[in-house]
């Protein structure tokens, strides 16, 4: 038997990792002694590659840090309001105490707007000032002691959580994924070479024929995936070269009203509030609307091909079955006959991936295109 080959460099990172995992699995199930000896090296390479692929891409504990930062900001505001309220009391001694405490607060202006470390240090120093022998009785007199204690507790909780995001997990940039893939490729090659050697020299090895058959099917499936991806990319590139009409540039040729003019507007904003979060925080929104193509309406339905009229109503059910987003599939305009059955090209508008389907029992069924 001949073991099929595959250019592993054509696989995307996650595909490459899963390919190696699948090979290890079918070899383990085949349980051929001369191949089993090579599997530990393959597993080791897989583990290293998986570690690099599965690392977090964001700072850790961001959600918890945000929550605790918001909590201490609330406690800081509560302390400020308590002091302001005391300044409006009738009792002169309470007013005087509030004014003295407020002087201390002014030493640390707008703490809630500072960077994480500056706010943490500022609150700690503020609490130390208010808890010393001079100001502690004044804080107690105006009733701000519970608010101050809560602020200290929230600040300490934030500081402890903030340190956790400096974890020992190395960032993904420290892994040379290209080198790790090469090591996995070497381990895969060793297994495949052993399979072919056994097929040439010991073809009657128990389980070898079934293993090679399974592996060859795995290779064929990967070839199909690569071919579909290349075809989709070529089609997209060809479409761009042909100068496809863009949204908002249609001409009003039909019965519907429209001058083909499109107006679009967009706005975006980003915000990084003084390093309040590890790595900064940006938020933005984009809003825009493009002009509708004119000259459409009923004429579009009349010009729709019989195939498109047949396929389009069945697409939502297929999207649901494949767990795809609503309205992401469309008829690709290609019809063929395979094994006496009409098959239709379907295109994922978001990923440009293509698939063929047939109509069976009032629904679409995915089929594998031959040839």
Q: How many CA atoms lie within 13 A of 187 on its CB side?
A: 28
Residue (of 140, 69, 151, 146) closest to 100 by Cα position: 140
Question: What pLDDT, in 10s, does the model give residues 24-37?
Answer: 999 999 999 999 99
- Can you give the pLDDT at residue 323? 75
3-state secondary structure of 364: strand
Q: Say if residue 255's pLDDT is above 50.
A: no
pLDDT in tens, 343-369: 999 998 877 788 999 998 889 998 888
Both tokens assigned to 115: 């960077």
Which residue intervals of 165-242 are DSSP H helices? Answer: 177-201, 208-241
Q: Which helix (H) or strand (E) holds 342?
A: strand 341-348
Per-residue pLDDT averaged across 278-294, rounded?
42
* Band (296; pLDDT cuts 50, 70, 90): very low
Which of 6-15, 239-248, 351-360 is predicted most confidently?
6-15
What span, in angstroms and rounded, lies between the C-alpha atoms of 257 and 245? 19
Q: What is the largest CA-CA distance in the chain?
A: 103
Looking at per-residue pLDDT, the higher value among 20 and 301 belongs to 20
* Cβ contact 112:78 at 8 Å: no
Q: Residue 54 above 50 pLDDT?
A: yes
Find the helix or strand (DSSP H, E) in which 355 lies.
Answer: strand 354-360
pLDDT tens, residue by residue, 113-145: 899 999 999 999 999 999 999 999 999 999 999
Using alpha carbons, list the distances in angstroms from residue 93 to 84, 86, 99, 133: 14, 10, 10, 18
CA distance 103 to 124: 16
DSSP 227-260: HHHHHHHHHHHHHHHTTPPPTT-----SSS----
pLDDT digits (tens, 9 = 90+) for 159-215: 999 988 776 555 555 578 889 999 999 999 999 999 999 999 999 999 999 999 999
In 3-state terms, what secondary structure has residue 290? coil
Q: Does the pLDDT of residue 249 top 60, yes or no?
A: no
Closest residue by Cα to residue 132 from 104, 161, 95, 99: 104
> Whole-angstrom Cα distance, residue 46 to residue 11?
15
Cα dihedral sign, 175-179-183-184? positive
pLDDT of 338 reads 86
Long-range contacts of residues 53-59, Cβ cutoff 8 Å, at least 24 apart: 53/13, 53/14, 53/17, 53/177, 55/169, 55/170, 55/171, 55/172, 55/175, 56/169, 56/172, 57/172, 58/279, 59/165, 59/277, 59/278, 59/279
- Nearest Cα to 216, choosing from 199, 204, 231, 235? 199
User: In this structure, are residues 43 and 190 in contact, taking their beta carbons and an 8 Å threshold?
Assistant: no
Task: Tell me the torsion sign for CA atoms 28, 33, 34, 38.
Answer: positive
Please tell me the predicted confidence (pLDDT) of residue 233.
84
């Amino acid at each position: 038997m001949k073991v099929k080959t595959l250019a592993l460099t054509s696989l995307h990172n996650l595909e490459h990792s899963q390919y190696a995992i699948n090979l290890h699995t079918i070899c383990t199930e085949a349980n051929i002694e001369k191949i089993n000896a090579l599997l530990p090296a393959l597993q080791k390479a897989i583990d290293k590659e998986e570690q690099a692929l599965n690392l977090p891409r964001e700072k850790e504990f961001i959600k918890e840090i945000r929550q605790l930062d918001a909590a201490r900001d609330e406690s800081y505001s509560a302390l400020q309001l308590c002091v302001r309220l005391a300044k409006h009391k009738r009792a002169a001694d309470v007013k005087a105490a509030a004014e003295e405490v407020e002087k201390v607060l002014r030493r640390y202006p707008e703490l809630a707007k500072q960077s994480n470390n500056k706010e943490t240090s500022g609150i700690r120093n503020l609490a130390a000032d208010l808890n010393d022998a001079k100001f502690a009785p004044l804080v107690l007199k105006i009733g701000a002691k519970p608010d101050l204690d809560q602020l200290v507790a929230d600040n300490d909780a934030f500081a402890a959580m903030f340190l956790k995001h400096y974890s020992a997990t190395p960032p993904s940039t420290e892994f040379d994924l290209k080198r790790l893939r090469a090591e996995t490729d070497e381990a895969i090659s060793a297994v495949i070479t052993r399979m072919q050697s056994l097929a040439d020299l010991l073809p009657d090895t128990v389980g070898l024929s079934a293993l090679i058959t399974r592996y060859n099917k795995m290779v064929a499936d990967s070839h199909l995936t690569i071919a579909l991806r290349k075809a989709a990319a070529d089609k997209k590139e060809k479409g761009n070269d042909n100068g496809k009409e863009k949204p908002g540039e249609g001409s009003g040729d039909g019965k519907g009203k429209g001058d083909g003019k499109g107006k679009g507007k967009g706005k975006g904003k980003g915000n990084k509030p003084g390093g309040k979060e590890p790595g900064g925080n940006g938020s933005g929104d984009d809003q825009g609307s493009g002009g509708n193509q004119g000259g459409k309406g009923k004429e579009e339905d009349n010009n729709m091909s019989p195939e498109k009229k047949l396929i389009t109503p069945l697409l939502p059910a297929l999207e649901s079955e494949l767990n795809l987003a609503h309205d992401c599939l469309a008829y690709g305009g290609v019809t063929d006959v395979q094994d006496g059955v009409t098959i239709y090209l379907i295109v994922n508008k978001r990923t440009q991936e293509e698939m063929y389907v047939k109509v069976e029992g009032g629904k679409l069924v995915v089929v594998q295109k031959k040839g």
